[in-house]
Copies of this chain bind each other. A is one copy, B any other.
Amino acid sequence: MPVLDLSVSAVDLTRTICDIPSVSDDETPLADAIEAAVRQLPHLSVHRDGDTIVARTDLGRAQRVVIAGHIDTVPINGNVPTRDIEIEGEPYVWGRGTVDMKAGVAVQLVLAAALAEPRVDITWMWYDHEEVDAARNGLTRLAAARPDLFAADFAILGEPSNGQVEGGCNGTLRAIVRTDGVRAHSARAWVGENAIHKAAPVLVRLAEYRPREIEVDGLVYREGLNAVGISGGIAGNVIPDACEVEVNFRFAPSRSGEQAEQHVRDVFEGFDVEIVDLSPGARPGLDAPLAQEFVASVGAEPRPKYGWTDVARFSAMGVPAVNYGPGDPQLAHHDEERVPVAQIEDVERGLRAWLT
């Protein structure tokens, strides 16, 4: 089993844990190493559930903060082990997981070891299976088994946010918009009814759709409604009797799931719409006193998070939550995934200052 030294810098620890592959389903070696390292720390009580490790201080502070990060990555594509690279004079750690999100986890592990007496109680969570179906997410499992561990006044996820504070997240909905017709031989098309032609207004409405920018608790969320798939057709000489357009609506956290569904049904009025997936977003939660303190302390300008992250899970459980981590989210899952060394150090400094 690899041994983790949590007394090194967060940058060094980023390299070390990126070089322990932990693609979803293969998190156990890294989870074992994390568990062994944090069990050495007398100020933390440790709970393990599958490959999720929870480590808590119990100092009787007035407030408690959850600080969490997932330890799995998307599949490796020739980008492990990590390399030190420079871009325009700036040093980076390059490789799978550096952005999403082992640099964030490394910062958390270093601080978990260093901060024996933080000014708030902390529940550290390092969890498995974030990059796959939500049903398999380590936090889904833990929330079912031990909801008490989620009790907190505020939560910080170390998802990449370029070292800024990203509040809440957009919701996401997927739906199938269907048209039907009447099958016929294409030599006598007038006998049939072309379902693909009938989908023209669906694509026109999508092409003409102007997504809104919606301010929620002071942050502006940008929505989006997009076709992510289309299919139809039987054979090269048959008028098709069915066409399906799969659409994805990313919606501001001020809309409930029901409102998002209604909006999509309104856009495609006159068409058969089936909702196949729906995850509401999370309001930024920046009006919570701890959140305001946190933002002021790290000196960051809060921004909206567009992608869905586990902050929505905390938000749904009544815990205001933000994303705060090193790395550019646009490079997550990218083969050239890389994190600026300076961002790792900035985030470590920011968190450390606020927690002490």
Complex Cα distance, B243 from A235, in Å, reads 17
- Interface with B: A65-73, A103-111, A193-201, which one? A193-201
Contact for A189 among B189, B190, B224, CB less than 8 A: B224
Contacts of A59 in B (CB 8 A): none
Question: Which residue of chain B is the closest to A196 with respect to CB atoms?
Answer: B227
Contacts of A203 in B (CB 8 A): 196-197, 199-200, 203-204
Q: Is A123 in the interface zone, CB < 8 Å from B?
A: no
Q: Say yes or no: A228-B186 contact (C-beta < 8 A), given A200-B206, A203-B200.
A: yes
Interface string of A117-150 (1 = CB under 8 A from B): 0000000000000000000000000000000000
Q: Is A226 in the interface zone, CB < 8 Å from B?
A: yes
Q: Say yes or no: A230-B206 contact (C-beta < 8 A), given A186-B250, A307-B185.
A: no
Complex Cα distance, B187 from A248, in Å, reads 9
Complex Cα distance, B228 from A237, in Å, reads 7
Main secondary structure of the interface of A (DSSP, over half): mixed
Contact between B224 and A228, CB atoms less than 8 A apart: no
Q: Is A245 in the interface zone, CB < 8 Å from B?
A: yes
Contact between A200 and B189, CB atoms less than 8 A apart: no
Interface string of A222-257 (1 = CB under 8 A from B): 101011111111111111100101101010000000
Contact between A172 and B198, CB atoms less than 8 A apart: no
How many identical chains are in the complex? 2
Q: Is A324 in the interface zone, CB < 8 Å from B?
A: no
Q: Say yes or no: A200-B190 contact (C-beta < 8 A), given A229-B232, A237-B228.
A: no
Contact between B243 and A230, CB atoms less than 8 A apart: yes
Size category of the binding interface on chain A = 35 or more
Contact for A187 among B198, B206, B233, B250, CB less than 8 A: B250
Contact between B188 and A330, CB atoms less than 8 A apart: yes
Contact between A189 and B250, CB atoms less than 8 A apart: yes
Could you jot down 13 A-B contacts, CB within 8 Å? A174-B236, A188-B306, A194-B206, A194-B226, A196-B229, A196-B230, A227-B240, A228-B236, A229-B233, A229-B234, A229-B236, A231-B232, A237-B248
Interface set of A (CB-CB < 8 Å, partner B): 170, 172, 174, 185-191, 194, 196-200, 203-204, 206-207, 211, 222, 224, 226-240, 243, 245-246, 248, 250, 277, 306-308, 330
